[in-house]
Amino acid sequence: MGAANSQRLWCEECTNVPPTGAAGSGFGAWVLLERADEAYRRLEYAEALRQYSRAVQDDQCLLPGWVGQAMANFRLSDHARASTVAAQGLGHYPKSKALLSVRGAARARLGERDEALHSSDLALSFEGDLWLEWVLRGDLLLTLCGSTTPARHCFARALELASGEWLAHLESALTWQEHGFAHEALTAFELPFAHQPETPELLFRYAVCLEQADQPAEAYETVTKLLALAPREARYRQFAERLKPKGLLGHIGRLFGRN
């Protein structure tokens, strides 16, 4: 990952606010932020959270670090912590559209409807457009309404703003999947999968999504590729064992499943 802000995550609204920690020492906020971004792109959210947290400890005014911490917590389904971290970051950047959006989506997941809408509406009221705020607005609407139509408009706007950034597609895919819309998620997974076909956690999420979409044969085929990359990961082995076709009936099922 290069040093330019444009190559970092969560920097759309802070290109003029670079990390102030030492960039070349190996321990400053700049380097820690790069490590965190790389982990986040690999869907290794616990490691990303650890590195984002260290970066913010090194530089309390590091806006991408605050956003990254909140998003990593959100993807780890720790919505209470995501809301808290976003609020802490807003203490430094009260008009951050990204932090307000994470807080809104997190509070919606926590059942705090009015507070969630207030945060999200406030984010949208500020000048500019971020793809992240629209993905999170879609998440909030799926949480509060359950209807796909308004959420689709949000995701379409996010992908328009992202201009081919595969991470925006991934965030959309994960949102669809977490809300139980497996077929919509599969479509959104296509671009991330093309960019990172050998990322174990992405393969795992994709395989789970295939199973959720009633495509067990394709899910099993995907998880066998996954095991070739990470044969020692217990979660992957257990998932593969559960999907493994049993005996002759399983073989016949695989044949018919491909027709």
Q: Which residues contact 259 (CB under 8 A, 6 or more apart)?
A: none
- Can you list the pairs that 239-244 forms with residues at least 24 positions away whose Cβ atoms lie under 8 Å? 239/204, 239/207, 239/208, 243/207, 243/211, 243/216, 243/219, 244/220
**CA–CA distances in Å: residue 159 to residues 132, 154, 252, 255:** 9, 9, 40, 37
Domain definitions of the chain by residue range: 1-124, 129-180, 197-259
Q: Which residues contact 100 (CB under 8 A, 6 or more apart)?
A: 86, 90, 119, 120, 122, 123, 126, 133
- Angle formed at CA 111 by CA 188 and CA 211, multiple of 5 degrees: 35
- Can you list the pairs that 126-131 forms with residues at least 24 positions away whose Cβ atoms lie under 8 Å? 126/95, 126/97, 126/100, 128/13, 128/97, 129/157, 129/161, 130/12, 130/13, 130/97, 130/98, 130/101, 130/161, 131/12, 131/157, 131/158, 131/159, 131/161, 131/162, 131/165, 131/168
Quick one: DSSP state of residue 93?
Answer: -
* Contact between 103 and 83 (Cβ < 8 Å): yes
pLDDT at 49: 98
User: Could you give the residue ranges of the DSSP H alpha helices within 59-181?
Assistant: 63-75, 79-92, 97-109, 113-125, 131-144, 148-162, 166-178
What does each of the 259 residues of the chain score in pLDDT, given as a tens digit? 333 344 678 877 764 444 444 444 445 887 899 999 999 999 999 999 999 999 999 999 899 999 999 999 999 999 999 999 999 999 999 999 999 999 999 999 999 999 999 999 999 999 999 999 999 999 999 999 988 999 999 999 999 999 889 999 999 999 999 999 999 999 999 999 999 999 999 999 999 999 999 999 999 999 999 999 999 999 999 999 999 887 534 444 444 444 4
* Burial class for 233, CB neighbours closer than 10 Å (0-12, 13-18, 19+): middle
* Contact between 77 and 90 (Cβ < 8 Å): no
Quick one: DSSP state of residue 188?
Answer: H
Q: Which residues contact 227 (CB under 8 A, 6 or more apart)?
A: 236, 237, 240
Domain 1-124 has CATH 1.10.275.10: no
Q: Which residues contact 255 (CB under 8 A, 6 or more apart)?
A: none
pLDDT at 235: 93
Q: Is 180 in a helix, a strand, or coil?
A: coil
pLDDT at 9: 85
